[in-house]
Amino acid sequence: MSNTVDIIKQRTSANNFDPTSVLSTEEIEALVQLAIETPTSFNMQNWRVVAITSPAAKEEFKALAYGQPKVKDAAVTFAFIGKLNGYQDLPTLIKPLLDAKAIDQAAYDGWIGMAKGMYEGHPQNQRDEAIRSSAFAAMTLMYAAQDKGLVSGPMIGFDATGVAQALGLGENEFPVLLLAVGKPAPGNWPRKPRKNLSEVLSIK
Ligand SMILES: Cc1cc2nc3c(=O)[nH]c(=O)nc-3n(C[C@H](O)[C@H](O)[C@H](O)COP(=O)(O)O)c2cc1C
């Protein structure tokens, strides 16, 4: 079994975290550096993350997460933030490809034009894409954490308006999910049951 398969099969959502465990800034950066490798539509990279580590911030975000203890106990809780107007960053983001002559001007213009057509004036597409990108990035981070011997706990149970206010988010940003990461404490649940393959997969 490959290491990737091991990691996928070993990951579970942890509820109990060792409150004495800490992650250094370098360890947090290493996790997020891997999450940055996550693919996004048009390579918009329309997400970012805030690492909640200080005791005061953990206390504040625990309350915003309806008292979920893992926000306080985990070494870090990542707040994944989706960006609605990420397509507007594309001219800058993909310019290195143009400069390196990996794409020509027509491809560059077409790339930006297609993204504009899909997202400009289409708020549902903008929101869907920000959630997709943030969710994929969070999944990468969960597997990166598992690879480093850590556990993780994704959360949608939080006051989105309160989190947006606490993080000072602008009108083009919103919190997508919280993700607690750290060392486990005893008492976490075993793997949970999954649907049968036949319930999930159909081949046409
Ligand atoms: C988007 C998302 C939101 C979740 N929100 C919460 C949450 O707020 N609190 C919690 O304890 N678990 C939360 N979970 C954990 C799920 O309950 C858990 O992933 C699911 O039961 C499957 O278990 P497993 O992750 O151990 O395989 C969330 C999971 C996901 C993917």
Residue 1 scores a pLDDT above 80: no
Q: How far does CA 56 lie from the centroid of its chain?
A: 23
Task: Supply the residue whose CA is at minimum distance from atom 25 of ligand 1.
Answer: 13
Ligand 1 center to 37 CA (angstroms)? 23
| Residue 117 φ/ψ region, left for φ over 0, alpha for ψ in the -120 to 50 degree band, beta for the rest | alpha
What b/e readout covers 105-114, taking b as 16+ CB neighbours within 10 angstroms? Answer: eeebeebbee
For the segment 17-37, the average pLDDT, to the nearest whole number, is: 98
**Per-residue pLDDT band at 7 (split at 50, 70, 90):** very high
**pLDDT tens-digit map of 82-105:** 999 999 999 999 999 999 999 999
According to DSSP, the residues that pair with 103 across neighbouring strands are none
Residue-range domain boundaries for the chain: 3-200
CB within 8 Å of 141: residues ≥ 6 apart:
31, 32, 34, 35, 49, 78, 152, 179, 181
**pLDDT tens-digit map of 112-152:** 999 999 999 999 999 999 999 999 999 999 999 999 999 99
**pLDDT tens-digit map of 54-77:** 999 999 999 999 999 999 999 999
Cβ–ligand 1 distance for 192 under 6 Å, the answer yes
Return the SS3 of 69: helix
Cβ–ligand 1 distance for 156 under 6 Å, the answer yes
Cβ–ligand 1 distance for 177 under 6 Å, the answer yes
Structure tokens at 23: 């992650």
Distance from C-alpha of 111 to C-alpha of 38, rounded to nearest angstrom: 19
Residue 2 scores a pLDDT above 90: no
Distance from C-alpha of 44 to C-alpha of 47, rounded to nearest angstrom: 9
CB within 8 Å of 66: residues ≥ 6 apart:
157, 158, 159
Q: Which fold has domain 3-200?
A: NADH Oxidase (3.40.109)
Q: Which amino acid is at 75?
A: A
Q: Best mutation site among 10, 13, 194 for ligand 1, i.e. most ligand atoms within 8 A of its Cβ?
A: 13
Say what the pLDDT of residue 22 is: 97
* Percentage of the chain modeled with pLDDT above 90: 99
> Are residues 16 and 186 in contact, defined by beta-carbon separation less than 8 angstroms?
yes
